[in-house]
Amino acid sequence: MRDLGSPVHSKRFIKSVLEAFPEESRICLVYKEQQPVACSIILGFNGTVYNPWASSLRKYSKLSPNMLLYWTMLQYACDGGYKYFDFGRSSIEESTYKFKEQWGAKPQLLYWYYISLNSLPFKIDTEKSKFDLAIRIWQKLPVLLTLVLGPPIRKNIGL
C-alpha cells in the first residue's frame, strides 16, 4: 500500500472487520512458494461481493499476482451465488481503473456531498493534484515508518 501512496489501516481495524462479519468476510492470498505476494479482503452482502482492500508486493509485479487474486475473488463470488462484484472505486483513466475495466467492470458515477456545519461557503477542490505531492512523499518513506504513521492517518481519510 505504501507503493500505491496510501496509508494502511491498523491491524486492529482489519481484525475488527473480520470479527464483526465472520460469515461475510474472506481473506484472499496469492503465494509464490511460501511467500504471500498479493492479498485482499472481500465482504459479501446482499448479493454483492465487495473488494475494499487489495494490494500486492511490487517486487512480484512482473508475475502479475493481481490477475490471480482477482480471478480467485471472482471465482469465489460466482461459486457463492453472488450476483455482483464491486471492484471498488477508481479515478477514470488511472491504472487501477484500466485494470478493473479489463475484467469487465462497468463504472458507476459516485457523487460527493459536502455539508457546511457553519453555513459559510466553501470551495470544493476536485483537483486530485493537491494529493500528488503527498502521495509521492508517502511512496518514498521507509515501509516501517508508514506502518507506524499510516493507521493514525488512515482513520481520518474517508475512503
Distance of CA 6 to the CA centre of its chain: 9
**Which helix or strand (DSSP H or E) is residue 42 part of?**
strand 35-45
How many separate helices (H) and strands (E) can be counted in the chain? 5, 4
Instruction: Please provide the average confidence, as pLDDT, over all residues in the chain.
Output: 87
CATH class of this structure's domain 11-154: alpha beta
Indicate whether 129 pLDDT > 70: no
pLDDT digits (tens, 9 = 90+) for 104-124: 888 888 776 767 777 666 565
Indicate whether 158 pLDDT > 70: no
Tell me the domain boundaries of the chain. Answer: 11-154
pLDDT digits (tens, 9 = 90+) for 35-75: 999 999 999 999 999 999 898 998 999 999 999 999 999 99
In the structure, what pLDDT confidence band is assigned to residue 1 with cuts at 50, 70 and 90?
confident
How far from 107 is each of 83, 101, 111, 157, CA to CA, in Å?
16, 8, 13, 23
DSSP 87: -
